[in-house]
Amino acid sequence: MMGITPLFLLLFLASLLTGCAGNPQQTQELSGKLSISGSTALKPLVDVAAKEFMRQHPQVKITVDGGGSKKGLKNVNNKVSDIGDSDIYVDPALYPDPNMTDHIICVTPFVMIVNPGVKVTSLSKEQLIDILSSGKITNWNQIPGGNDQPIHPVVRPSTSGTRETFRKYVLGGADELVGTPLNVDDTNAVVNKVATTPGAIGYIGLSALKPTVKTVALDNFTPTAQTIGDGKYNFWSYEHMYTLGDNTPLLTEFLAFMTSPAMQKKAHDLSYITIDEMNLPKVGSLPGEQLDQPALAFSSSYESEVNRRESYN
């Protein structure tokens, strides 16, 4: 009996340790809350991702709000949101916190939209400047193929990252001086306003396009991975998720989920351009250095506004 007792004790202790460990899935089950705000262009994808992530992790609660890229950046910087969605790069002068981390999720192609009654099918950048900035063009009949109808621009508010992208890459740095800005950066509001206003023109993320409006090409090009990659269509932006670090399991898992194969497929289905389709190493690599795409999806240390301009404009 004395020889058996030590063995019995070892087995007993082992059973206790196994019981304490429990089911591995139980110990790894995620819980907690995430608050996300910002870009209305990325919101359709984030809405879908949040819903699916919460289905897979019932103890997680995710809230998704829009408000525009600049609101998202401000919210994450002020710790109002855990994630700030943005169409634009953070300005280090405004947000110098070294913990501000950029996670590139996908690319949003933007499109010009008009009221269905407008007959024009393509606009040049010069024509758009004359419509929206200088005000030289006020009627659609001033453009070849246009009908006799006053032009009514629908302008996004200053908090909009889409507006900032439009100003930089379509208007050549000029600002929109014609039209009345919407009070809130709401893509659906832009679509509805253009759809119900004769002669109206605006711009939205391709993912938000509805049959109630009509798209207009830019210099006869439409947005595809090919035309963007070739530099022929430059009204687009990377979609960023900014965080103040990503040192919580829930935040880390959700960011990984956003660039998972399943969500990248969903991004493609929603008319975004995926990381693979954009071939991000083209803009992310330093001379003589090739970066793998998964690494670039989670860190933009080699990605910048300068690289975006040099590689695609």
SS3 of 163, please?
helix
- Residue 231, Ramachandran bin (φ over 0: left; ψ between -120 and 50: alpha; else beta): left
Tokens of 89: 């790069």
Opening angle at CA 106, ends 65 and 58, nearest 5: 50
Do the beta carbons of residue 157 and residue 253 sit within 8 Å?
Answer: no
Q: What integer pLDDT is reported at residue 299 of this predicted model?
A: 38
Task: With CA atoms as reference, report the closest residue to 81 among 31, 33, 30.
Answer: 33
Q: Is residue 79 packed enough to be buried (19+ CB in 10 Å), middle (13-18) or exposed (0-12)?
A: exposed
Q: Indicate if 109-229 has the same CATH topology as 32-107+237-312.
A: yes
CB atoms within 10 A of CB 116: 14
Give the rounded percent of residues in the chain with a pLDDT score beyond 70: 80
pLDDT of residue 279: 64
Q: CA 265 to CA 268: how far, in whole Å? A: 5
User: Is the pLDDT reported for residue 106 higher than 60?
Assistant: yes
Q: Rounded mean pLDDT of 153-180?
A: 89
Measured at the CA of 134, the angle between CA 192 and CA 156, to 5 degrees, comes to: 30
Beta bridge partners of 215: 113
Say what percent of the chain tops pLDDT 90. 69
Mean of per-residue pLDDT scores for the chain? 83
The more confident residue out of 47 and 283 is 47
The DSSP result for 102-134, as a single string, is EEEEEEEEEEEEE-TT----EE-HHHHHHHHTS
Residue 52 has a pLDDT of 98
Q: pLDDT-based confidence at 177, cuts 50/70/90?
A: confident
Cβ atoms of 239 and 87 closer than 8 Å: yes
Distance, CA of 241 to CA of 64 (rounded, Å): 12
pLDDT tens digits, one per residue of 246-299 = 679 999 999 999 999 999 999 999 999 998 887 654 333 222 223 333 333 333
Sequence ranges of the domains in the chain: 32-107+237-312, 109-229
Assess contact for 37 and 81: CB atoms under 8 A: yes
CATH of domain 32-107+237-312: 3.40.190.10
Cα–Cα nearest to 138, from 154, 122, 123, 153: 153
pLDDT at 203 over 80: yes
pLDDT score at 294: 35
* 3-state SS record for 145-194: CCCCCECEEEECCCCCHHHHHHHHHCCCCCCCCCCEECCCCCHHHHHHHH
Overall average pLDDT of the 140-164 stretch: 93
Q: What is the mean pLDDT of residues 104-116?
A: 96
Q: Which pair of tokens denotes residue 257?
A: 């989920």
Q: What is the mean pLDDT of residues 67-73?
A: 93
Spatial contact of 306 and 312, defined as CB atoms under 8 Å apart: no
Q: How far apart are CA 274 and CA 105, in angstroms?
A: 8
**Least confident among 42-56, 106-120, 183-197:** 183-197
pLDDT tens string 204-259: 999 999 999 999 999 999 999 999 988 999 999 999 999 997 679 999 999 999 99
**What is the reported pLDDT for 123?**
97
Architecture of domain 109-229: 3-Layer(aba) Sandwich (3.40)
Answer whether residue 165 shows pLDDT above 70: yes
For 179, left (φ over 0), alpha (ψ -120 to 50), or beta? left
Cβ neighbours of residue 294 closer than 8 Å, sequence gap 6 or more: 259
* Sequence-ordered list of residues with C-beta below 8 angstroms from that of 95, at least 6 positions apart, any chain: 73, 77
